[in-house]
Amino acid sequence: MNATMKKTGGRALAMILLVAAMATAIVLASGPQAKAANSHNFHIRHPGQGALIYYSTCPFDDGTIPPNISVCDDYSVWYLRETWAFGGGALGMAQQPFVAIFDHARWDVNQDRLISYEFGETPDVVGSYDKTHLSYAHFDATTVEMNDVDLQTGEATPTGETLTLGPFTWTAASSVSRFGNDGPTLDAFPPNLRDRCHTTVTHAHQKFRVAHVTGSIEGLQLDTLYTRSPSLPGEPENAPGTIFNNSFHVIDVAHGGKNCL
């Protein structure tokens, strides 16, 4: 089964991931290793390589909500290597291990409101990834320990539960697509923003291919759920996964004085 991504819910989930990452980056950038003359200034580089798939218990076509559905469970599985560099520091990407990540968001679809969010990840994973051609990615079956996230504070608490992923295999089904800030992750962020307090410059290099995916969660095969893929011209059917090699660069300069945060 295949369905397009629900426009508002899909955007909100992507924003959760991006905002969480940016919040982490800002906290780290304010530490001793990156503190500038103005402690509100920060400079971040963030490369990420790997593969992912989104899927759901709900079918959505062109943002239409089926009348008999009030709650949807959205999931994603990542095979990911990433790092952060703050204040112009070295990236050290080659030393970063790949991790397997699973997350689960539950939505009130009538109000487009997040009800709950949990995730698990592990570096104890064996896999492979074609960085040059993005033709494949794979990881063997592994287990993650789950964490529940407080939606008010963002604090993660272990649930004591474990979940078995995979094995997962992504096989490229399209040519390579290349984007800047207009790509799937930063399509809501213009490259330059300026207000009374800050100037923020965001620059992205996004390279990916959509992919066929096989895999399972606790033995449940993906073809029993509704997969959600990026919308690309000429995208083949039944290719809901993505194999990617991306890099994001953010510089924020505070210039509003003591009355600005």
Q: Tokens for 117, please give them.
A: 């969010």
Residue 193: predicted pLDDT: 73
**For residue 236, what are its two tokens?**
């083949």
Residue 215's pLDDT is what? 92
- In angstroms, rounded to a whole number, what is the distance separating the alpha carbons of residues 77 and 216? 10
**162 vs 221: CA distance, rounded Å:** 18
Contact 134, 125 (CB under 8 A): no
Q: Which pTM was predicted?
A: 0.76
Give the alpha-carbon dihedral of 122, 125, 130, 132, to 10 degrees: 50
Show the tokens assigned to 50: 């790997």
Return the closest-CA partner of residue 240 out of 90, 74, 112, 80: 74
Q: What are the tokens at 179?
A: 């984007």
CA angle (22, 27, 31) in 5-degree steps: 140
What average pLDDT does range 175-183 have in this prediction?
A: 76
Asked whether the beta carbons of 116 and 105 are under 8 A apart, the reply is: yes
Interior angle at CA 204, CA 81 and CA 55, nearest 5: 55
Q: For 21-41, how does the pLDDT look when each residue is reduced to its tens digit (9 = 90+)? A: 433 333 333 333 333 334 567
| CA max distance for the chain | 56
Contacts 24+ apart (CB under 8 A), 106-112: 106/71, 106/72, 106/73, 106/74, 107/9, 107/71, 107/72, 107/73, 107/74, 108/70, 108/71, 109/6, 109/9, 109/58, 109/65, 109/69, 109/70, 109/71, 109/72, 110/65, 110/70, 112/8, 112/9, 112/12
Collapsing DSSP states into helix, strand and coil, what is residue 142? strand
Confidence band (pLDDT; 50, 70, 90) for 60?
low
Which of 2 and 247 is assigned the larger pLDDT?
Answer: 247
**More confident position, 11 or 176:** 176
Per-residue confidence (pLDDT) for residue 229, from 0 to 100: 59
**What's the pLDDT at 56?**
85
Q: Between 84 and 166, whose confidence is greater?
A: 166
What ranges do the domains of the chain cover? 2-254
Check pLDDT > 50 for residue 3: no
3-state secondary structure of 212: strand
Q: pLDDT tens digits for 111-162?
A: 889 999 999 999 999 999 999 999 999 999 999 999 999 999 989 999 999 9
